[in-house]
Chains A and B, each alone.
Chain A
């Protein structure tokens, strides 16, 4: 597909017969189209199409540093990846993180959006703003804030203590690394998903709620039998987005633990491994193969998900 993307606009301009001298050339359609598309297509071809191709090519090469020798090794990088226990650890951590964020970042924001949508809450704007503010902070700042909030004598442990729980060494325990990252994601992304769900809910015809209420459906029934099924498209959208973002986890563990990825590498994500291989070990070919596998995983999971939600069937109806 990318091949034809690159060529099509150019073919347009060359295949047209020479201009009749009626209008000057700069007003001819092919010229106008070319002028408007040129900056985008040029940048797109160089920095996307070519780069994607180059990434795939490099994943079959053994590359000695930047600008060094590169040698074609076929599936060598992938075979090595298949037996690399660190890669499986990164894969496991990332998958756990994705599962965690999905488990939280779909139902929780949806319930909040639905609650704001019932009309029971006064000052919805104020509440929505409060929940949205974390979306404006960078992931770097999220990492900074939670480095301290999750420290041993940090705020979370203080809160837990008032409820009688033992303090946890959140950032110094291997199996608590992913839960800590999910807590951060919850804080950072809930507001954005609430906005998405709110937009979806506000597109539902209000008459439906009214007639359901007249028929005696309470708020919980209206939520379960109207809001949830009618929000299916937006739920699917947010699910794919959450998944897409989740697999690209990098900044928060990088800020908190650095490239060491914390105790027992509990915070090692796929992208962190890619970064480490590429920019601290300078194994560019090997890192490229990690990138290709990551892309393949994201594509596969997204397609499966769209299929499960019956996305492809819709066109046939």
Chain B
């Protein structure tokens, strides 16, 4: 939507501008600029698409040609035997299921925790509010890797090693998620909340019936962000998950590479399968991804 909007703005503004600027032959010059700009963008876009295209064609190459033809953009062989081998020789179905469980679990859990906490932080007065909020933000400035070892020790102590909960629970209190949701809630119109209050609604009812429906766009953005983060994460599940049938895709793939002789046929097909659902989701929810992530960059407003 934003793109269209921008384009229109420019359509409207630039013709008069270039007329003033160039006088004679302004139209000609603008056409040439358009041609050059589009050519540059096409080249760049192509360069960014090639590695993905290359992943797809390598996944359907005969296993013994993968390395040999690594510099070849047009597959001379086509086979689905790599996929068959993946399903036969690895626990790919478990890995995929685990990735889904982890992504869904941590997304839903984080959304609940973050949305609940954001409500009083944005819309209620209480002592310690700012201290709490600033403390959460400050902790976000620290690298996650500082927490890696204490969290690992904690998981061992809590008997959560090699469990889904062990991967999900420590990361549920997402500082950035809280920040984003609070910013969004600050923008809600006070009138609506007041009206509900006049009608005798309790804070719980206001939260569930008024606030939650109104923050749906923020929920969608955060859902995409949390799910993507968890789906793509390697390091933390690598540490928590010990048995092969508990691996998510990321850890599964890295375990295939860690073999003495990596099985590139399996690695590439598994990689392809891990990108596929995200790509499909992206096609459905393009705007949530692009405008949502863009808004993250400007502090969620």
Contact = CB atoms under 8 A, between A and B. Distances in A.
Interface of A: 1-2, 4-5, 7-9, 11-12, 15, 27, 29-30, 32-33, 36-37, 39-41, 43-44, 46-52, 54-55, 58, 66-67, 112, 115-122, 124-141, 144-149, 151, 153-155, 157-158, 187, 190-192, 195-196, 198-200, 202-203, 206, 209-210, 213-214, 216-219, 234, 237-238, 244, 247-248, 250-251, 254-255, 258, 271, 274-275, 278-279, 284, 287-288, 291-292, 294-295, 298-299, 302
A2 B135 contact: yes
Interface of B: 2-4, 6-7, 9-11, 13-14, 16-18, 20-21, 30, 33-34, 37-38, 40-42, 44-46, 48-52, 54-55, 58, 66-68, 70-71, 73, 112-114, 116-117, 119-121, 124, 126-128, 131-132, 134-136, 138-139, 141-154, 156, 169-173, 175, 178, 202-204, 207, 228, 231-235, 239, 250, 253-254, 257-258, 264, 267-268, 271, 274-275, 278-279, 282, 286, 289-290, 293-295, 297-299
A210 B128 contact: no
B116 A40 contact: yes
A9 B147 contact: no
A214 to B, nearest CB: 5
Given A140-B254, A200-B297, A216 B126 contact: no
The 9 closest A-B pairs by CB, nearest first: A119-B10, A8-B128, A5-B135, A213-B17, A138-B232, A40-B117, A196-B297, A158-B71, A130-B45
Contacts, number: 345
A62 to B, nearest CB: 14
B100 to A, nearest CB: 15
A145 B203 CA distance: 51
A36 B234 contact: no
B3 A125 contact: yes
Contacts of A32: 120, 124, 203-204
Contact of B128 (A11, A112, A127, A131): A11
Among A120, A157, A191, chain B packs the most CB atoms within 10 A around the CB of A120
B144 A248 contact: yes
Contact of A52 (B7, B146, B153, B254): B146
A144 B234 contact: no
9 contacts: A1-B131, A2-B135, A2-B138, A39-B112, A39-B116, A47-B169, A50-B150, A200-B297, A299-B142
A158 to B, nearest CB: 4
Nearest to A28: B203
Contact of A195 (B136, B232, B297): B297
Given A138-B274, A148-B264, A278-B149, A248 B143 contact: yes
Given A47-B173, A141-B275, A295-B142, 11 more contacts: A32-B124, A36-B117, A40-B173, A58-B150, A116-B41, A119-B11, A136-B278, A140-B234, A144-B268, A148-B67, A291-B149
A121 B132 contact: no
A165 B179 CA distance: 49
B139 A36 contact: no
A78 to B, nearest CB: 15
Contacts of A132: 289-290
